[in-house]
Structure 1
Amino acid sequence: MTEQRRYEVLPGNHGSRVKVHIRGGDILWTPRLNRGTAFTHEEREQLGLVGLLPTGITPIDAQLHRAYEQFLDARTPMAKYRRLTALRDRNTVLFYRLLSEHLEEIMPIVYTPTIGDAIEQFSHQFTRLTGVFLSIDAPETIEQSLEASGRGADDVDIIIVTDSEGILGIGDQGVGGIQICHGKKSLYTAGAGVDPDRMLAVGLDVGTDNLGLLNDDLYPGLRHARVRGQRYDAFIEAFVAAAQKLYPHAMIHWEDFGAANAHTILTRYRDRICTFNDDVQGTAAVVSAAALAAIKGLGERLRDQRIVIHGAGTAGIGIADLCRDMMVESGLSEQEADDRFWCLNSRGLILEDSAGVRDFQRPYARRPDEVAAWDTDGRGRVTLADVVRNVHPTILIGTSGQPGAFSEPIIRDMAAHVARPIVMPLSNPTTLAEATPSDVLDWTDGAALLATGSPFDPVVRDEAVYHVAQANNALVFPGLGLGVAVCRASRVTDRMIAAAARAVASLVHLRAPGAPLLPRIGDLRRVSATVAIAVARAAAEDGVAGVELENPVQDVFDRMWQPVYPELVLD
Structure 2
Amino acid sequence: METLDEQLQRAYQQYSLQADDLQKNIFLNNLYHTNETLFFRLIREHIQEMMPIIYTPTAGLAIQHYSDEFRKPRGIYLSYPERDHINEILDHWDANDINLIVLTDSEQILGIGDQGANGIGISVAKLVVYTLCAGINPRRMLPIMIDVGTNNPQLLEDPFYLGWRHHRISSAEYHQFVETVINAIKEKFPQVFLQWEDFGKKNARCHLDRYQDSMCTFNDDIQGTGAVAMAALLNALKITGTPLSHHRVLVYGAGTAGCGIADQIWEQMIKEGLNHQKAYSRFYLMDRQGLVTSNRENIDYFKAPYARSSSETDEWDRADDPTRLLDVVRNIHPTILIGTSTVHGAFNREVVNTMAAHVERPIIFPLSNPLTLAEATPDDIIHWTQGRALVATGSPFSDVEFQGKFYPVSQCNNALIFPGLGLGIISCQAERVSAGMMDAATLELANSTTDKTRLLPEISQLQEVSKNIGVAVARQAILEGVALNRPDQNVENLVESNIWEPVYMPYQPLNIPAK
Q: What range is the shorter-chain TM-score in? A: over 0.9
Question: Are 2:465 and 1:527 equivalent residues in the alignment?
Answer: yes
Which aligned pairs between 1:497-536 and structure 2 lie closer than 5 A? 497-509=438-450, 511=452, 515-536=453-474
Q: Residues of 2 paired with 1:570 and 1:137: CA distance?
A: 48
Alignment correspondent of 2:494? 555
What is the TM-score with the length of structure 2 in the denominator?
0.95
Question: Are 2:209 and 1:274 equivalent residues in the alignment?
Answer: no
- The amino acid across from 1:529 in the alignment is K
SS of residue in 2 equivalent to 1:170: coil
**2:238 is matched with which residue: 296, 310, 321?**
296
**Cα displacement string for residues 482-539 of structure 1 (whole angstroms, at most 9, x for unaligned residues):** 111111111112222222221111012454xxx3311111110011012112222232
- The amino acid across from 1:542 in the alignment is E
Residue 154 of structure 1: how far off its partner (Å): 2.3
What is the TM-score with the length of structure 1 in the denominator?
0.86
Moved more, 155-164 or 535-544: 535-544
Would you identify which runs of 4 or more consecutive aligned residues in structure 1 move more than 6 Å? none
**Cα displacement string for residues 269-310 of structure 1 (whole angstroms, at most 9, x for unaligned residues):** 111111111111111111111101111233333233221101
Residue 566 of structure 1: how far off its partner (Å): 2.1
Moved more, 306-315 or 545-554: 545-554
Alignment correspondent of 1:166? 108
**1:361 is matched with which residue: 303, 307, 316?**
303
**1:109 is matched with which residue: 53, 56, 76?**
53
**1:214 is matched with which residue: 140, 151, 156?**
156
Q: Residues of 2 paired with 1:567 and 1:325: CA distance?
A: 50
Q: Residues of 2 paired with 1:228 and 1:568: CA distance?
A: 53
SS of residue in 2 equivalent to 1:203: strand
Bigger Rg, structure 1 or 2? 1
SS of residue in 2 equivalent to 1:518: coil
Which aligned pairs between 1:83-98 and structure 2 lie closer than 5 A? 83-98=27-42
Q: What stretches of structure 2 of length at least 5 have no aligned partner?
A: 511-515
Change (3 A) 1:374 1:539: farther
**Cα displacement string for residues 101-129 of structure 1 (whole angstroms, at most 9, x for unaligned residues):** 11111112111222222212222222222
Residue 375 of structure 1: how far off its partner (Å): 4.0
SS of residue in 2 equivalent to 1:154: helix
- Say whether the 8 Å CA contact 2:134–2:466 is kept in structure 1: yes
Alignment correspondent of 1:546? 484
Alignment correspondent of 1:50? none
Question: Are 2:276 and 1:334 equivalent residues in the alignment?
Answer: yes
Q: Residues of 1 paired with 2:380 and 2:66: CA distance?
A: 37
Q: Residues of 1 paired with 2:451 and 2:305: CA distance?
A: 33
Change (3 A) 1:376 1:143: farther
- Say whether the 8 Å CA contact 1:326–1:498 is kept in structure 2: no
Q: Residues of 2 paired with 1:296 and 1:530: CA distance?
A: 21
What is the alpha-carbon root mean square deviation over aligned residues?
1.7
Q: Residues of 2 paired with 1:88 and 1:165: CA distance?
A: 26
Which aligned pairs between 1:241-252 and structure 2 lie closer than 5 A? 241-252=183-194
Which aligned pairs between 1:338-487 and structure 2 lie closer than 5 A? 338-375=280-317, 377-379=319-321, 381=322, 383-487=324-428
Question: Are 2:73 and 1:129 equivalent residues in the alignment?
Answer: yes
- The amino acid across from 2:221 in the alignment is D
Q: Residues of 2 paired with 1:388 and 1:509: CA distance?
A: 33
**2:135 is matched with which residue: 190, 193, 199?**
193
Q: Residues of 1 paired with 2:114 and 2:456: CA distance?
A: 31
SS of residue in 2 equivalent to 1:352: coil
Alignment correspondent of 1:263? 205
Q: Would you say how many aligned residue pairs link Structure 1 and Structure 2?
A: 509
Once the two structures are aligned, what percentage of the paired residues are identical?
45
- The amino acid across from 2:172 in the alignment is Q
- Say whether the 8 Å CA contact 1:167–1:173 is kept in structure 2: yes
